[in-house]
Amino acid sequence: MDSVLILDFGAQYSRLIARRVREQNVYCEVLPHSASAETIRKKAPIGVILSGGPNSVYAEGAPLVDPALFTLGIPVLGICYGCQLIAHTLGGKVEPDGGAREYGKAETTFDRADRLFSKLPETSITWMSHGDYISKLPEGFKPAATTAVCPTAAIACEEKRFYGVQFHPEVRHTQYGRELIRAFLFDICGAKGDWTVGDIRTEAIRKIREQVGDGTALLALSGGVDSSVAAALMAEAIGDRLTCVFIDHGLMRKNEGDEVEQAFKPWPIRFVRVDAEQRFLSRLAGVTEPEQKRKIIGAEFIRAFEEEARRIGGADYLVQGTIYPDVIESGLGSSAVIKSHHNVGGLPDDIGFKGIVEPLRMLFKDEVRALGRDLGLPDAFVERQPFPGPGLAIRVIGEITREKLDTLREADAIFREELALSGVSKELSQYFAVLTSMRSVGVMGDGRTYDYTLALRAVKTDDFMTADWARIPYDVLDRVSSRIVNEVKGVNRIVYDITSKPPATIEWE
């Protein structure tokens, strides 16, 4: 099986590069930048991609690559920091600014004589994010693309198959970015493109059996896409040695706990529902800081699962439906922490299990859905919207109370119902309501009110790493707003979030 290695230099989008590679049915792995040339050689990749990163290659302590990588005869593509690193390592020179600083969209002209760009238009838009530039090329390299301010927007050494691009082809803001990555994989590395979802399934089951052995496992089941696919995968791997436990923390959407229980009744697995609402709400009382909320919920989940494991006679491993966006945003390697997901950065140091099994940890959401279909899960599970593990705790801004949760549940249910009735929901990737901590003056029945502002959020995305705010028709938003202020006590103002990711995240906390 062909494989490509991605060396991570602390970029937020390293895993997005991986996703773009996998979209072409080419297997890839992400390794830390410190991986030695010998480690890379033993993995026998057909190509190596150097990611972007927040550092300057000439700065003290900047992450570097093993120079011997460039003696292995393997094609190399450097992206942004990776491009500069190629130049820096092989004898070129990288300098700050110099008038070549670029952030955002840039019209870029390509030298189509180079194989990497031969199938691209001569000029197109790319997405830049750099303050340094390559002022001197290494021997054997030539400029392969330019912008109005950057004469080395791409570099190439055709003889050795080394290429660097100053822009980010992995983000959808770059026109023809996928085509560029495809050209590297197929025209330069010689990929066959024969890696399939069946391979994901086979490899995941192999790893589960290798880790768990003859042991037993307890799966943290939320009823969402990720945990449902993890349950099906674990059931196939270890059978009746799996127990699925649904911790009802009182932070679910309206009627959701009952719906999850009903949905899993037909499954040939052991399903246990634990009522833990009071337990979680008491621990969260008075807490307003988002990161603290997540860490409290993460720790309390572990304690609750440990207790349930003891009650059912013990379990060796805890299984979680963690996926790659969770890991990235919680901080990976030298990447920045965006927010600690309760199942990653929120876990306590001491856990009462031999280990944690995360069979989906290296997968993106679309890959998880594809795996679910391959496992035979019904669309009701596979197509279900993402719902965060901390639930409504991160959709109530500020202190959490049962009253606020009930208010949000009712408003969120109306929003979801109206989107479904209008048919708009089919076009959306995720949508929900947020109860803000802001209160404002309103007028109802000729009387003054001083109630909460409710925010509505809806996005479109294919990977949940980036997302666009959804253009919901005004008449639909009007019906939602009218119903909420008339039917939900405690809300007198509705706002709609029109911020994309980045700069915002999809969830508010």
Residues 102, 150, 157, 170: which is the catalytic one? 170
170 is catalytic: yes
Counting DSSP H helices and E strands in the chain, the numbers are: 14, 20
Rounded CA-CA distance 236/205 in Å is: 8
Paired with 145 in beta bridges are 110, 154
158 is catalytic: no
Cβ atoms of residues 246 and 261 within 8 Å: yes
Residues 28, 80, 150, 189: which is the catalytic one? 80
Residues 33, 88, 130, 168: which is the catalytic one? 168
- Read off φ and ψ for residue 434, nearest 5 degrees: -130, 130
Cβ atoms of residues 432 and 444 within 8 Å: no
Give the burial string for 252-280 (b: 16+ CB within 10 Å, else e): bbbebbeebeebbeeeebebebbebbebb
Q: Could you report how far apart the first and last alpha carbons of the chain are, in Å?
A: 41
- Read off φ and ψ for residue 402, nearest 5 degrees: -60, -35
168 is catalytic: yes
Cβ atoms of residues 198 and 375 within 8 Å: no
Q: Describe the strand order of the beta sheet including 162-165 as a list of residue ranges.
A: 27-32, 3-8, 47-50, 76-79, 162-165, 154-157, 142-146, 102-110, 123-130
Give the burial string for 61-88 (b: 16+ CB within 10 Å, else e): ebbebbeebbebebbbbbbbbbbbbbbb
Rounded CA-CA distance 356/327 in Å is: 14
- Which residues, other chains included, contact 60 with Cβ-Cβ below 8 Å and sequence gap of 6+? none
Alpha helices in 423-490, H assignment, sequence order:
474-487
- Which residues, other chains included, contact 77 with Cβ-Cβ below 8 Å and sequence gap of 6+? 47, 48, 49, 50, 116, 163, 164, 165, 184
Rg (CA), the chain: 25
Question: HEC string of 92-161?
Answer: CEEEECCCCCEEEEEEEEECCCCCCCCCCCCEEEEEEEECEEEEECCCCCEEEEECCCCCCCEEEECCCC
Helix (H, G, I), strand (E, B) or coil at 323: coil
Which residues are designated catalytic?
Answer: 80, 168, 170
